[in-house]
Structure 1
Amino acid sequence: MNANTEAQNLSITPRLFDLDGEPAHEKILFVSDPVTSLRAIIAVHNTTRGPAFGGCRMWQYENDGQALQDALRLSHGMSLKNAMADLPYGGGKAVIIRNDRQLNRKEMFQAFGRAVQSLGGQYITGEDVGTTVDDMLAIQSVSPYASGIPRAGQFGGNPSPKTALGVYAAIGRATSLIFGATSLDGVSVAVQGLGAVGWDLCERLHAAGCKLIVADIDASRVEAATKIFGATAADVSDIVTQQVDVFAPCALGAVLDAPTIARMECKLVAGAANNQLATTDDAERLHLRGIHYLPDYVVNAGGIISCVREYEGGVDDASVDQEVVRIADRTASLIEEARSLARSIASVAYEQALRKIGWTV
C-alpha cells in the first residue's frame, strides 16, 4: 500500500471516538465472542451525571462502520435524554451486530452480559430495538447491570408503553400550544412504524379521536391498524410526506434529511424513534419551513425513566406514569422559550441539555 492509498483509506474510515463537532466518548468497548458469534459495541458517552444508562439494540448492519456510528449517535443521544429527564445518569448505548451464526440467543446475551459486567457498573443496559425482556433476563443472570425486567412484586418490565405514554403526552400539549387545539379529537397524525411503541401510541391516539395514517414494513401490522384504529394505510416511502397535523416517527432514525424535509407537509414532528434527524442541521431546516420539531431525546424519555425507576426500585406504576407525563410540561417550557427567543425548539433544548450535563454552551 502506498502513502496515497493509505491516506484515501483513512479518509473514509468512520470516526472512532466522537461525532463530528461533539465531545469525544469516554469509552468504547468492542466485544467478540467466537463461541456464540457475538459481535457488539458498547459506547459510554458521558458519565458526568452518573453511570451511563441506555439500551442494547440488535440489528443487521451493512458494515461495522455503520454499527459504530449507530452506537456513537445513540449513546450521545442518551446523554442528552437522561439530562433533560433530570435523571442522575450519563449516556451510553450498545449495539449487537446480528448475523445468521447466532444460534443460541440466551448464551449470546449472557456473553454480552459478561462484557457489560467487565465495565464494573460504568454502563447499565436495557431493551431497545431488536431486544426483549428474555434477553435482559439472560444478561441479568451474569450481571446486575440490566433493566427492563419484570421484578417479582415490584414495578418493572417492558418499557415500551412508557415511551408511548411520554410521546402521547408531548403531542397533546404541543398541539394545544401550537395549534390551539382543545383536545386531540380530529387531529391527524401519520405514524411511521408499528412496533411495540408505535402500536401503543396508535392505541392512545385513536382513543383520543385522532385520524391516523400508518406505515410499517410489516404489511400485517398495517392491515391490523386499518381494522382496529380505522387508520389509513400509506407506503413506507410516503408516510413522511403526508399532509397531516403531526408526523410521529416511531421506527429507526435518520428519516429526516434535507430532501425529505423539503417535501414534508406536517406542522409538528413528535415521535419515539431515536436520532430522527440525519444531521444536526436538519433541525434548522425544519424550523425554517415552519415545522415544529420536538427533539426525540425530550419526548421519548418515558422508556428510560421506566428503566431507571425499575433499576433503582421502590416505585409503583402510577408514580412512574406521573413522572413520564411530566414530559408534557418540559415540552411546553421548550416551546414557550423558543417562541420568546424566535428560535427553534431543538436549539433551545440542546443548550438546556448541555447545561445540565455541565458542558459549555
Structure 2
Amino acid sequence: MTAATLFTPKITPDFDDTGLDNHALDANMDGMEYDDGADDEDYEDSAVTGQSAPTESAQFRKLQKKLRRQVSWAIRDFNMIEEGDVVMVCVSGGKDSYTLLDILLLLKRIAPISFDIVAVNLDQKQPGYPEDILPAYLNEQGIAHYILEKDTYSIVKSVVPEGKTYCSACSRLRRGSLYGFAKQIGATKIALGHHRDDMLATFFLNLFHGGALKSMPPKLLSDDKQNLLIRPLAYVEEKDIIDYARLKEFPIIPCNLCGSQTNLQRAIINDMLREWDNAHPQRLASIFKAMQNVAPSQLADRELFDFEQLSLDRDDNERLFEGDNIQAGQTDSLAEIGLPVSPKAQTFSSKFASDKQDSASKNKTAEGSRSTQKIPTINPVL
C-alpha cells in the first residue's frame, strides 16, 4: 500500500541546506483534502501526551486539523510514506522539528497502514547547549529516540574564517552524521522540518545569490542513492507552526548558541518574505504555486528544454494582415530579397466589424435620444 492509499487524501553556490543536488518536482494542492473518517473531537489531543490548557481550545483543534491535512496532502502528493517505512525524524529542538514530530505521530495513530517513527537528535556540543531538554521531553512523551553526540562545533570553528557564518559548514557536518546513521539503523525515510517558507527563502537565495532557479524539493533522493529525504511540512506556513508550537508549549532550544551571526542572507530573505506576507497576504501562496507550475519552454535553460531543435511547421493557408492599409517602402530592396512589394490586406474579422458597427449604432441612437429629449420646464414661483 502506497502513500496515495494512505493519504487519499561554472559552479554556483547551492542554498538548499540539504547540500544535495535537487530536482524540480510538481504538485497540485487544489481541491485535495485528506479525510481521516473521524470527527474533529477525536483529535483534540495530539499524539504527544501531557496536554496543557491551550491545547483544549477550539483555536488549537482548528489549527491542528489544518496542519494535519496539509501534512497529509504533502505525503500523498509526493508518496512520502509507505507501508513498513521506518521514518527517522530529525529533531533539533526548534519549533519546526517539534511540530513535524507531533503531527507525524498523530497521523501514525490514524493511518490505515503500518509505519514506525524514531526521533534522532545530534548534540553538536555547542557551548551552553542544554543537553538535558530533548531527552527529557522525548522520554516523558514515550517517543523512541537516539541522541547522537559529536563535537562538530569545534571542527566548524577551526575551518570557518573569522567573521564568516557557521551555518553552511555546520549543516553539512550534521547531515553527514545523520544520513549515515539513518542507513546504520535501517531507516527508510529521513524526515526534515523544512516548511513552505523555508522552501521559498531557499528559492530566493538561489535566485539572488546562486544564479539558479532551485529550492528544496518536498522529496529528494540523495546523490549516492543511499537515503530518501522527505519534507512533510512542505505545504505548511511558518506562522502556523509558530502558533502551534506556542499552544503546545514545546521546550524550544534556541538556535543562537554559535554566537552572533549577523550577516546571514537567509535572515534578510525571511524578513523580505514576512513583509510581503503582511502587505500582500496571497503573494507567498502564489509564488509557491509557481514553483509547482514550471514551464521550461518559457525560461532559458538549454539543458531543460531543447531550443536548438525548434523549427517551423507552417501549413499552406494564407493569413492576410487584418487592417486598413499596408505601406511598402524601398520596394526595389524588398523585391531584391524576394519579398512582396504590395502585400494584400483584409478588413477586420466580421465578428469584430459587426461588434464595432453595433457599438456605433448604439452610440448614434443614444446621441439622437439625447438631442430630442426636452428639458423639463419649471414654472417660476409667482
Shorter chain as denominator, the TM-score bin is under 0.3
Q: TM-score, normalised by structure 1?
A: 0.25
Higher relative contact order (CA 8 A, sep 6+): 2
User: Which is higher, the Rg of structure 1 or of structure 2?
Assistant: 2
| Structure with greater proportional strand content | 1
